[in-house]
Structure 1
Amino acid sequence: MSNKKIGLLSLTALVLSSMIGSGIFSLPQNMAEVAGVEALIIGWTITGIGIIFLGLSFFFISRLRPDLDGGIYTYAREGFGELMGFMSAWGYWLCATIGIVGYLVVAFEGIGTFTDTPSAVIFGQGNTIASFIGSSIIVWLVHILIAKGVKEAATVNLIATFVKVFPLLLFILLALWYFSSETFSYDVKATALNNCVSDQVKNTMLITLWVFTGVEGAAVLSAHAKKRSDVGLATVLGILIALALYIAITILSLGILPRETIAMMPNPSMAGLLEQMMGSTGKIIITACLIVSVLASYISWTMFSAEMPYRGAKNGAFPKVLDKLNENNTPIHSLWFTGLVVQLCLLLVLLTGKSYNALLLISTSMILVPYFLIGAYLLKLSIQQNSPWYIKFTGFMASLYGLWILYAAGLDYLLLSVLLYVPGIGLFLYSRYQHQDGKFNLNKWEKVALATIAFLFVWAVYNAFSNINWN
């Protein structure tokens, strides 16, 4: 198996499956809760342009530097040094790992809609003992699948991707049939929200970021691609398909029911909308699709999570013990590391009762900086190589979109990410000490960056304690 590679179709499916997880099924309610028709159209326009430039950044980097494997980590390390490379890898790994815990939680919450009753709650919100046991079984079954080889896991993911996209197309076709222009055009500015259109647009940004997380999937697994040229192409194809689905589902939903009604729906809100169009069968279809969707995404995201520490370990950013492949060319120690952390997080979910939404809040905050660094690296690389103007422009626009997302996230999200980045700094320093024969060998800019992070950490801790209700 070790010599088998992933083709363009499977790479595209990995990108698409990574993005289409659970978020799309809650997208109508999530967006209707914060914005009206006018703001949604503007928000999707900004996101569409920004995410396409981000995807094109992966496309161009894969051609300007076809020798680089590992995607987000490798690009940040090459462009901005070992520390920033590690920060990008750590942020991405945490985003992926916490995100896949959320996938398991929401999958069993979906199963609970078929099994739970008011008098007998079995799976609840995915945080019961039954959910913990079921999730744990899936963690180690997927571990075995990926350990047998990335190519085999990618094939399973390809099949699952086709299965979960079909109900989405069914929803869009029915929505076109039931679409009411009168319902759609009512209160396009969402005056009931009591905020301006620009604020509504800003409030949609993190939602759209979450549903596009996974755009880097093909680049992360670039070492396993049959052709390096397929990496960028798969990324762009995945983005275009996902963007079309997201816009269609969000916009058409507002022509089925009023925004205020959709905003009050329980999630997955697509289930309620499809039930409105075709009865109880629609709710069953969407819920079943949700379960298949998040489990398929769990497979691809686990592959991404295992790949990142392995790539980092090869370059001294993660401990040496994670730099090991098994006979199937799978980063087995990194896979074990990821699986054990997921298992620990599931235990914390059981003990604390955290829900899917809380996990996504934490997960999304970790991907902001890594995405910004992708566009920044392309801009730097294109200037260094004197690339054509359109490549420089792509890097500039992707960087601008990254800055906009950081701004739209707000201070609370940024400080939350700092709290989660700091534990990784200790791991980086240990790994650097291990790989550099007992020395840290930090350069001037790395020392400045560490001092800045330390200051932000103190601020973040102070902010966290200030927000605690001590009464």
Structure 2
Amino acid sequence: MRTTVQASFSVWTLMAMVVGSMVGAGIFSLPQAFGRATGPFGAIIAWSIAGVGMLMLAFVFQSLSRRRPDLDAGIYAYAKAGFGDYPGFLSALGYWSAALLGNVSYFLLIKSTLGLFFPVFGDGNTIPAVATSSILLWSMHFIILRGIREAAIVNTIVTVAKIIPILLFIVFVAIGFEADLFAESFWGGQEATFSAIASQVRATMLVTVFVFVGIEGASVYSRYARNRADIGIATIVGFIGVLGLMVAITLLSYGVLARADLADLRNPSMAGVLEAVVGPWGALFVAAGLIISVAGAYLSWVLLAAEILYSASKSETMPRFLSKENRNGVPANALWLTNIVVQAFLIVTPFAQYAFTLALELTSSMILVPYLLVAAYAFKLAWSGETYADDIRNRRGEFIRAGIALIYTAGLIYAAGAKHLLLSAAIYGPGTILYFIARREQNKTVFTFPEMALFAIAAIGAGAAILGIVYGSLSI
């Protein structure tokens, strides 16, 4: 059965994986998220920085897919090839954690959307909301067990279906756009100083990371690509298209509602913006689009999460049981583990005051280390000249692009702040038990000395995070 699945994804399917992964919950919360943080000028700066930084990262994925065609599930495999087994494991664990936390946020946003019409769902974290989300979770689980190829076909169809209402939103809001209202919010309600704008822009960084998570979708599925060159094409084209949608949604919204009103909208805030233009049916229209969008994004992300565990297990960085496939070629054990953990997070969401915001920010935080390691590996290859023996003329350009991507991803970790780094450590530290199991299965030394130092940092950070939560100094 394996041969019927292998090497079956066209460039369009890979592009749908990229777009489907990026266009999910985050895009529908952009008006409120940016309204809380900044005005149009700050938004322009933020999207410019994020656009350039993520474009360079997209170029990095494109370059590495050509230079290391032997490496599958790129975002994890590149970290391992460049920096060793334990950093590779941390990249796989971080990416998997980001994927499943993203799925938690999708369920919360679906129920929050339904809460607009059925108060029993509240903000997506009530008991009825958790129960309904759990039913949806396991329904999708058993659909995916029927086959990766079938799930990818469904994802392609859903991706097309969810782009249409977003494009219609942009058209309606552009028609209702008021330049005077846009101008009133331009500086974000503050004096136009460098420090004020810089503070506003920093406040948007995790939001921009969250909405771009998924840019690596084609790279993760590289083992299914018919043509390795399609991976880079799908990544670049998908990214540019999604960036255009996000910039349009963000900036046009400032011409419909004042910044303070945008900040007070409940999510999905696109519903409130469209309702202000066309009336009550606008909220219903956005709600329908969101449910389609989030269902497709969830499908993309649960596939990505299972795939990363499977690939890491096949290369002996995760425990062996995670590489088991069912008769349909689906990494079944990896899928079961992923959805069990998603279920656990859903159960605790009623105890988090701002569950959706926390899930969004943790998703962004957990993806930062994998992105940093990918950029660092591309920079390392260009610096050393490895893989460039027959392509000297492209080395300088790729060195510059990898350097910009490295600076950008490192800057994101700084912008995330101590709180999110500690919360990330609370996952990286305990999660290392999977690495212990894998190394013991292979009768290998668990850590080298540098890896032991890295684990010590993660363990200390995890301890500090847990103590902070227990004693109330670290809020969740």
**TM-score category by the smaller chain?**
over 0.9
Task: After superposition, give the CA deviation of every residue in 1:16-65 in whole Å (9 maximum; x if it has no partner).
Answer: 11111111111011101111121111111000000001111111100001
1:59 partner letter: Q
1:81 partner letter: G
Aligned sequence identity (%): 39
Which residue of the other structure, out of 427, 439, 457, is the alignment partner of 1:420? 427
Task: State how far apart, in whole Å, the 2-side matches of 1:201 and 1:78 are.
Answer: 34
Indicate if the aligned counterparts of 2:425 and 2:459 stay in contact, CA closer than 8 A: no
Match of 2:337 in 1: 337
Indicate if the aligned counterparts of 2:429 and 2:462 stay in contact, CA closer than 8 A: yes
Which residue of the other structure, out of 452, 459, 463, is the alignment partner of 2:457? 452
Task: State how far apart, in whole Å, the 1-side matches of 2:187 and 2:372 are.
Answer: 31
Which residue of the other structure, out of 176, 179, 191, is the alignment partner of 1:178? 176
1:90 is the counterpart of 2:88: no
Task: State how far apart, in whole Å, the 1-side matches of 2:197 and 2:53 are.
Answer: 19
Indicate if the aligned counterparts of 1:56 and 1:232 stay in contact, CA closer than 8 A: yes
Task: After superposition, give the CA deviation of every residue in 1:293-328 in whole Å (9 maximum; x if it has no partner).
Answer: 111111010001111111111122211111112222
Coordinate RMSD, CA, aligned: 2.1
Indicate if the aligned counterparts of 1:429 and 1:440 stay in contact, CA closer than 8 A: no
Indicate if the aligned counterparts of 2:145 and 2:330 stay in contact, CA closer than 8 A: yes
Task: State how far apart, in whole Å, the 1-side matches of 2:107 and 2:126 are.
Answer: 12
Q: How does 1:2-401 map to 2 (within 5 A)?
A: 2=2, 3-4=4-5, 5-116=8-119, 121=120, 123-192=121-190, 196-350=196-350, 355-383=355-383, 384-386=386-388, 387=392, 388-401=395-408
How many Å apart are 1:465 and its aligned residue?
A: 5.6
SS in 1 for 2:257: coil
Indicate if the aligned counterparts of 1:34 and 1:193 stay in contact, CA closer than 8 A: no
Task: After superposition, give the CA deviation of every residue in 1:415-444 in whole Å (9 maximum; x if it has no partner).
Answer: 111121101122212211112x2x425323
Match of 2:473 in 1: 468
Task: After superposition, give the CA deviation of every residue in 1:164-212 in whole Å (9 maximum; x if it has no partner).
Answer: 1111111111222222222212242223489611111111111111111
Stretches of structure 2 that go unaligned for 5 or more consecutive residues are none
How many Å apart are 1:68 and its aligned residue?
A: 0.6
Indicate if the aligned counterparts of 1:179 and 1:256 stay in contact, CA closer than 8 A: yes
Which residue of the other structure, out of 442, 445, 448, is the alignment partner of 1:440? 445
How many Å apart are 1:412 and its aligned residue?
A: 1.3
1:203 partner letter: A
Task: State how far apart, in whole Å, the 1-side matches of 2:425 and 2:281 are.
Answer: 45
Indicate if the aligned counterparts of 1:72 and 1:220 stay in contact, CA closer than 8 A: yes
1:385 partner letter: T
Which residue of the other structure, out of 432, 436, 444, is the alignment partner of 1:429? 436
2:422 partner letter: L
Indicate if the aligned counterparts of 2:11 and 2:234 stay in contact, CA closer than 8 A: yes
How many Å apart are 1:467 and its aligned residue?
A: 4.6
Q: TM-score, normalised by structure 2?
A: 0.92
Task: State how far apart, in whole Å, the 1-side matches of 2:474 and 2:350 are.
Answer: 24
Task: State how far apart, in whole Å, the 2-side matches of 1:112 and 1:23 are.
Answer: 18
SS in 2 for 1:33: helix
Task: After superposition, give the CA deviation of every residue in 1:223-264 in whole Å (9 maximum; x if it has no partner).
Answer: 112222111111111110110000011111111222222122
Indicate if the aligned counterparts of 1:103 and 1:294 stay in contact, CA closer than 8 A: yes
2:408 partner letter: Y
How many Å apart are 1:159 and its aligned residue?
A: 1.1
Q: TM-score, normalised by structure 1?
A: 0.93
Indicate if the aligned counterparts of 1:59 and 1:232 stay in contact, CA closer than 8 A: yes
How many Å apart are 1:458 and its aligned residue?
A: 4.5
Stretches of structure 1 that go unaligned for 5 or more consecutive residues are none
How many Å apart are 1:409 and its aligned residue?
A: 0.9
1:159 partner letter: I
1:165 partner letter: I
How many Å apart are 1:84 and its aligned residue?
A: 0.2
Indicate if the aligned counterparts of 1:110 and 1:288 stay in contact, CA closer than 8 A: no
Corresponding pairs, count: 463
How many Å apart are 1:350 and its aligned residue?
A: 5.0
Task: State how far apart, in whole Å, the 2-side matches of 1:329 and 1:246 are.
Answer: 35
Bigger mean CA offset, 80-89 vs 274-283: 274-283
SS in 1 for 2:117: helix
1:264 partner letter: D
Task: State how far apart, in whole Å, the 1-side matches of 2:352 and 2:48 are.
Answer: 38
How many Å apart are 1:361 and its aligned residue?
A: 2.5
1:409 is the counterpart of 2:409: no
Seen in structure 2, the aligned counterparts of structure 1 residues 294 and 193 have a Cα distance that, compared at 3 Å, is farther
Seen in structure 2, the aligned counterparts of structure 1 residues 147 and 193 have a Cα distance that, compared at 3 Å, is farther
Task: State how far apart, in whole Å, the 1-side matches of 2:257 and 2:319 are.
Answer: 53
Task: State how far apart, in whole Å, the 1-side matches of 2:18 and 2:252 are.
Answer: 24
Seen in structure 2, the aligned counterparts of structure 1 residues 139 and 248 have a Cα distance that, compared at 3 Å, is same
Bigger mean CA offset, 378-387 vs 71-80: 378-387
1:332 partner letter: A
